[in-house]
Amino acid sequence: MVNQRLRELKPAVRERIKIVLIPTSRQDMDHLNKNIKNYNLNIEIAQEKPFLDLLHEIKPVLYLSTNSHNVKEAIGAGFGAATMFLGDYDNHSAEVLRVAFDGDGVLFSDESERVYKEKGLQAFFQNERDQEGTSLALGPLRGFFESLVVLQLLFKDRKENSPIHTYLVTSRGPTSPALRALKTFRENSLETNEAFFLNGAPKGPVLKIIKPHIFFDDQKVHVDGALQNGVVGAHVPYEKFNYRSERTQETIQSPCHHNNMSKPEGTERGGQSNSDNTEEKDWAAVKALFDNAKTTKKPRPPKPSNAVTIAVSSRTLFNMVKERKVFEEEGLERYVAHQLELEDQPFTPGVSFPFVKALMNVNARLRELYPDNLTIERFCMTGGESPIGYLKAYMTNLYLSKDSVKVQEAIGEGIAAATMFPSDSENELSDTQLRVAFDGDAVLFSDESEIIVKEHGLDTFFRHEKEFENKPLAQGPLKCFLEALGKLQRKFYAKDQRISCPIRTYLVTARSAASAGARVLKTLRSWGLEVDEALFLAGAPKGPLLQKIRPHIFFDDQMFHIEGAQELGTIAAHVPYGIGQKYHKGKRMETSDAEKK
């Protein structure tokens, strides 16, 4: 298929992919020839020679076989090779060749994996921080990957859509380990279409969405995970540090589960920021009020520096569509009477209900670890008036509503806020782990880079991001909410519950990894923040991946990403911030249209 597309290019390019069949037995020659003709395959059959002599003559960038001994010999002789496995596989694209690669031991050498296996996680993270400015050596499949990149450039140079799509699917976490991987790509003039830094999460579910024609990994456990999800997995036996899958906890939990969190921005060692001092005074006043109260059974309110305050409107917590219709069509008095008539009938859950339930589970877990520390206890009824004053008084970390006007007002006042949208179908969500997914630009970060994309195009954007890679992006409207979640996560880490932490965060961005990913990761690190998984989709749709992640809520500033999430069952929240509000599906709207959106 790729060869056919190459022939169709103008000017035409001769076939660049040559496939050579190495028979296991010369007695099969007639049968092989018949099958090759039957399937109309353009394949050469190699002459009979000793195996390694034949490889040196053919010089393949990739050798695939079910014979693991031959594969090991090929890798030992410097050829890219992998062992294939039989299985029941899903259907694949007939128009785009999709190839997914692990990083360490496949595209890169196993030098970092060696540190992890021999010295442990802390030594691995320290090594990646120390060596962040140094590229990794390339691994056994570098030649094959480079060949795919060259072919992609042929299509790019002729302004044609490439029929080749590559993916990096790695267990590395999105901090220094990811930055070092991205630096390795850049310094070798390589680019991958999409990159998934999974922080130890299973690869199989992500691969099931990608549906690559083949996935390469040096860990057999990940190959098995691919096979279980209908994906063709190929094992790269990079023998130096290829550890057995029987060591499940050490092998599966690859170098990523125990990332260290830096201190949050604004906090010095041995001291506190001015904002912390103010919060301490507020806390002291509230504490004195509760200490002097008559009852001693009521839990103390959470300390502001430790609490996370999330405000939700009643119409997002409960399904009040019918009640809203009564209010709009029949007026306030009839609305009040209607509510009284049905006061004994519970509302059905609203769009933010699963998110709130997951938050309450986090609260329950925290109370087990820190008795009397946190509680959800306050609500206010504004009668439809602006809630901004209350949001400020409660030092709200996040405000969710179905009223876009109130959400815009909150963002204008510096409060993290988003407009909730129901999903078209319902995905089954975790009862034990709160999962929150964020877009990057104009959500966690400012829209400064997005402005360049919209006004000057992608090439200028890539140059800009490379030039300012070491300059942190300005913060966006939801940075403080990620920061609040990070504080809660560290409470669990302090009790040695990192792996079982009931909070998991995701960065799901349209940015590409090698060209524009490093600045994002360095910005998060400069803030003292991290996410559990970072997914760089290079413009690919977000909906299918979100469907597999199944977050309780996904934040994005672009309505077409919100719609894509909704269609596949993800509860999405629109952040009306930045230049993206002036565009719809990539096209700039007229001023009046933009205001309507």
Active-site positions read 439
The dihedral built from the CA positions of residue 195, 201, 202 and 206, taken in this order, carries a sign that is: negative
Q: In 3-state terms, what secondary structure has residue 98? A: strand
Q: Classify residue 243 as exposed, middle or buried by CB count within 10 Å of its CB (0-12, 13-18, 19+).
A: middle
As given in the structure block, the two tokens for residue 479 are 């940075």
d(CA 577, CA 448): 12
Terminal C-alpha separation, the chain:
42
Contact by Cβ (8 Å): 199, 261: no
d(CA 145, CA 99): 9
Q: In 3-state terms, what secondary structure has residue 121? A: helix
Q: In 3-state terms, what secondary structure has residue 526? A: helix
Instruction: Classify strands 503-509 and 533-536 as parallel, antiparallel or unpaired.
Output: parallel
d(CA 197, CA 220): 19
The dihedral built from the CA positions of residue 58, 59, 62 and 65, taken in this order, carries a sign that is: positive
Length of the chain equals 597
d(CA 219, CA 255): 13
Instruction: Classify strands 572-574 and 417-421 as parallel, antiparallel or unpaired.
Output: antiparallel
d(CA 374, CA 72): 56
Q: In 3-state terms, what secondary structure has residue 117? A: helix
As given in the structure block, the two tokens for residue 64 are 């695939």
d(CA 153, CA 363): 51
As given in the structure block, the two tokens for residue 544 are 């299918």
In the beta sheet, which residues pair with residue 188?
A: none
d(CA 114, CA 242): 9
* Location of structure tokens 């990940």: 222
Contact by Cβ (8 Å): 37, 45: no
